[in-house]
Structure 1
Amino acid sequence: MRLTVFGATGGIGGEIVRQALAAGHEVTAVVRDSARLSASGEGLEVFRADLGDAEALRAAVAGRDAVLSGLGARRRADAGVAARLTRSVVDAMEAEGTRRLLVVSAAPVGPPAERQPLLDRALGAVVSAVLKEVYDDLRAMEADLARSATDWTSVRPPKLRDKPVTGVYRRVVGGTPRSGRSIGRADVAHAMLAMVDDPSTVRQGVGVAY
């Protein structure tokens, strides 16, 4: 497949690029600073662009089978970037007729897990209060996706960790795994690549966790 990856210098985006190349896909990594891109290999194209300029992004998404995005706030002060930058990606895709889009959101944006234990509910409430601005940004991003013409999937992990890819995790389409407290960035990338051609995840939020 021909894939475009946004946020390719981040933890999840970089893993998407590496795993996609290893699987034999052609990958266009969209970056602002190519020096920060750690992935390399045959089949990789590096595309430098202003991520806020939808017109500049059109060439990066034209003719692609899917677009995957790891864009999002890395700290509370960055709240607002997920919705703003994803809007540019969506505008570029709609202009080019590219439909498949997968993005990273967060578990608290999705519905509560069924029969969630009291301790997990309490922990979730604390985290949601501390990171309210970040999650409001992701909710705005998901609302924009719902209004778009793209075949989107919003992948909602809990706390992210730096762990090797295992390929072993739980996922709930339209929901949240019970007591799912963490997942490795590499496994989020693995899950996103596995969902690219999964029709059950189109226009859905998908909870992923160990």
Structure 2
Amino acid sequence: MKITVFGATGGIGRLVVAQSLDAGHRVTAVVRNPAKLTLAHPALTVVTAELTDSDAVTEAVGGADAVISALGPSLKRSDTGSPVTDGTKTIVAAIQTAGVSRFIGLATPSLADPRDKAHWKHKVLPVMARLAFPNALAELENMTAAVTGSDLDYTIARISAPKDKPATGRIRSGFLGHDRIGSAMSRADIAAFLITQLTDSRYHRAMPAISN
């Protein structure tokens, strides 16, 4: 498959790129600073673009079978503005213009999926996030709404406590109140889950929570 990856130089994004290439996919990695992506591969195309450049973003997703976004907001309490929300809106518009339908992205259990049942995370996590990272939570809410409010075939994986540990191959996924989902998860396993969603239709237009 041909995949366009945003957030390709982040902790999860670079793993998405590497694992996708290992799986035999062709990857277009959209980056702001190409020097941060040290990987070289004959099936890898690196595109330098700002998410404010709608023409460049549209060109980057052209011909893709799917788009994977590993974008996430800054957790600095002092940060303001909505760069990730605005960037996600640009990506969604570009995907629609390019005629691509499949979008795979990230959020957190601070946001609920309609398939969830009542769960303590719905009460505790949004309060904690609003106190500790108010702008980040607003970004997560708005960037997710930009996707779920579209007609895209999306899957948004809700993650918490990502760790820089080796992949375990043990991935739990489902909906809060229904399935046994923990919190911690290696970034390598998060990347692996995102890639499996290229061909897995279980979570069509859904936001599964995932963990190790």
Aligned residues: 209
1:67 counterpart = 2:67: yes
1:209 counterpart = 2:208: no
After TM superposition, the runs of 4+ consecutive aligned structure 1 residues lying more than 6 A away are: none
String of CA shifts for 1:26-60, please: whole Å, max 9, x gaps.
00000111001133223111111121222221111
What secondary structure does 2:209 align onto? strand
What secondary structure does 2:8 align onto? coil
AA partner of residue 90 (structure 1): V
String of CA shifts for 1:124-163, please: whole Å, max 9, x gaps.
7434531232122111112111221211111110111111
Unaligned runs of 5+ in 2: none
Query: CA–CA distance in 2 between the matches of 1:123 and 1:59?
Result: 37
Q: Decide which of 174, 193, 197 is 1:172's aligned counterpart.
A: 174
Q: Any residues of structure 2 matched to 1:172-191 within 5 Å, and which?
A: 172-173=174-175, 178=180, 180-191=182-193
Match of 1:86 in 2: 88
2:156–2:207: 8 Å Cα contact kept in structure 1?
yes
AA partner of residue 105 (structure 1): A
AA partner of residue 25 (structure 2): H
1:154 counterpart = 2:153: no
Cα separation, partners in 2 of 1:35 and 1:100, compared to 1, 3 Å: same
AA partner of residue 197 (structure 1): T
AA partner of residue 23 (structure 1): A
Query: CA–CA distance in 2 between the matches of 1:23 and 1:82?
Result: 28
What secondary structure does 1:193 align onto? helix
String of CA shifts for 1:101-125, please: whole Å, max 9, x gaps.
111111211359758579x965774
Query: CA–CA distance in 1 between the matches of 2:26 and 2:140?
Result: 28
2:172–2:181: 8 Å Cα contact kept in structure 1?
no
Query: CA–CA distance in 2 between the matches of 1:4 and 1:184?
Result: 22
What secondary structure does 1:42 align onto? coil
Moved more, 21-30 or 51-60: 51-60
Unaligned runs of 5+ in 1: none
Larger helix fraction of residues? 1
RMSD across aligned C-alpha pairs, in angstroms?
Answer: 2.5
- Percent identity among equivalent residues? 33
Q: Any residues of structure 2 matched to 1:3-152 within 5 Å, and which?
A: 3-76=3-76, 77=79, 80-110=82-112, 125-152=127-154
Query: CA–CA distance in 1 between the matches of 2:148 and 2:138?
Result: 15
What secondary structure does 1:201 align onto? coil
User: Following TM superposition, by how much is the alpha carbon of 1:200 offset from its aligned partner in structure 2, in angstroms?
Assistant: 2.0
